[in-house]
Amino acid sequence: SIAMTTKRGLFVVLEGMDRAGKSSQCRRLVDHLNSIGHRTELMRFPERDSAIGSLIGQYLGRKIELDDHAVHLLFSANRWEFRPHILDTLASGVNIVCDRYAYSGIAFTAAKADGPDFHWCCQPEVGLPAPDLKIFLSVSPEAQASRGGFGAERYEVADFQRRVGEAYARLMRLEDQAGGSCPAWLTINADGAFEEVQQQLAKAVVAAIDCPRSAGPPAGLR
Ligand code: NYM
Ligand code: MG
């Protein structure tokens, strides 16, 4: 008989600034993948539906104040608490499309004026499951503004978003310099029509699903 092994699921992370359309694109992408027979689960960070996530939600909604380091560690702990779920899901052959991950954690804290140092920000993420594919949805300040401006949560102000963009650029540069023959990040410009962006996304993700993958769990972030 032929030994059957389940190919593990693909772990895709979407990153980008607020108003890039990540959440809508992720939802649509997951529906599309399932409809063409690729079992896929949607995840998001922060995942507010946990004890840690509820504290994060209160912080973002300005109900509570927290030291910048403390809230950074909460965002990271929120990922760590879902690590077993991520690994089990991938091992069962189900793909994960994740709306934000460790890179949001680093970029948003590192963007704080007089906040924690960039390298300190990276440390709590070391060892989390590394994504197989990282996609950055880029959005111009003009498109951000044309989408009804920002919401009322902490961080949703233009000047801070500019600093977040710089922090993302710094970490993508670092990762692209770290080696490997192809870029660590795929950037998709999300200024255009929703459907066009969705098509580019779906094409990249389906191609990655079809690529060979090691059978074991993903490596840890370094
Ligand atoms: N955010 C998100 C962080 O500051 N650190 C993190 O680790 C993550 C995952 O939370 N402005 C910020 C980015 C967003 C805010 O996210 C809420 P969303 O995707 O709008 O729910
Ligand atoms: Mg938001």
Rounded Cα–Cα distance for residues 36 and 13 (Å):
20
Residue type, 94: V
pLDDT tens profile 16-39: 999 899 999 999 999 999 999 999
In this structure, CATH architecture of domain 11-209: 3-Layer(aba) Sandwich (3.40)
pLDDT tens profile 38-96: 999 999 999 999 999 999 999 999 999 999 999 999 999 999 999 999 999 999 999 99
| Ligand minimally distant from the alpha carbon of residue 61 | 1
Q: Which atom of ligand 1 is nearest to the CA of 45?
A: 9
| Ligand minimally distant from the alpha carbon of residue 16 | 1
Q: What is the pLDDT of residue 31?
A: 98
Q: What is the 3-state secondary structure (H, E, C) of 90-116?
A: HHCCCEEEEECCHHHHHHHHHCCCCCC
Task: Work out whether the CA dihedral 148, 152, 158, 164 comes out positive or negative.
Answer: negative
Beta strands per DSSP E along 25-179: 40-44, 95-99, 133-138
* Pocket-forming residues, ligand 1, beta carbon under 6 Å: 18, 45-46, 60, 75, 100, 104-105, 108, 155
- Give the mean pLDDT of 176-199: 90
Sheet holding 133-138, edge to edge: 40-44, 95-99, 11-16, 133-138, 185-189
Residue 5 has pLDDT above 80, yes or no: no
Domains of the chain by residue range: 11-209
Beta bridge partners, 11, equal: 96
